[in-house]
Amino acid sequence: MTTAGDIMHRGAQWIPAHETLDRAAQLMRELNVGALPIGDADDRLCGILTDRDIVVGCVAMGHDPAKVTAGEMAQGTPYWIDAGADVSDVLHQMQEHQIRRLPVIENKRLVGMISESDLAQHLTDHQIAEWAESVYARTPARP
């Protein structure tokens, strides 16, 4: 059985909810990632911040990324998967919620992230095609 832990990208880092978006952008650059899980004061997942969120939800709205926090950008229910979950559960979760990145949790701690590139590296062409069709075909246009 292939698990979430087998296909995840290790070394994912939180951005604390109180950190500003300019710091988040710097961390994304340092880590060469396009998304960061947002952690609250109790180290619980409270959202995911993407580079697109910073651009569209902050900069394009005329806000200063040095004054807006990651926590202010956290929206909706954060989804995650246990490191021991089967890869079919990973695909189902991402398809069901139409998400492209999924934090991986083990013993209540962030241990990695699963992104499209992780799927491409570890899944069969058939699995990737099914996943892409379900995630992209139903994805509503963003404003």
Three-state SS annotation for the chain: CCEHHHHCEECCCCEECCCEHHHHHHHHHHHCCCEEEEECCCCCEEEEEEHHHHHHHCHHHCCCCCCCEHHHHCCCCCCCEECCCEHHHHHHHHHHHCCCEEEEEECCEEEEEEEHHHHHHHCCHHHHHHHHHHHHHCCCCCC
Residue 104 banded pLDDT, cuts 50, 70, 90: very high
Class of domain 4-137: alpha beta
Structure tokens at 135: 């995630």
pLDDT tens figures, 64-78 = 999 999 999 987 788
**pLDDT in the model for residue 109:** 86
Q: Starting from the edge strand earliest in sequence, which strands make up the sheet with 45-50, in order?
A: 15-16, 35-39, 45-50
Confidence of residue 143 (pLDDT cuts 50, 70, 90): very low
Structure confidence at residue 5 (pLDDT): 95
Over residues 5-40, the pLDDT tens digits come to 999 988 888 999 999 999 999 999 999 889 999 998
Looking at the whole model, is its pTM more than 0.85? no
pLDDT over 70 (residue 139): no
pLDDT of 127: 79
Interval 122-142 mean pLDDT: 72
Please tell me the distance from the alpha carbon of residue 63 to that of residue 82, in angstroms, as a whole number. Answer: 35
57: pLDDT strictly greater than 90:
yes
Mean of per-residue pLDDT scores for the chain: 88
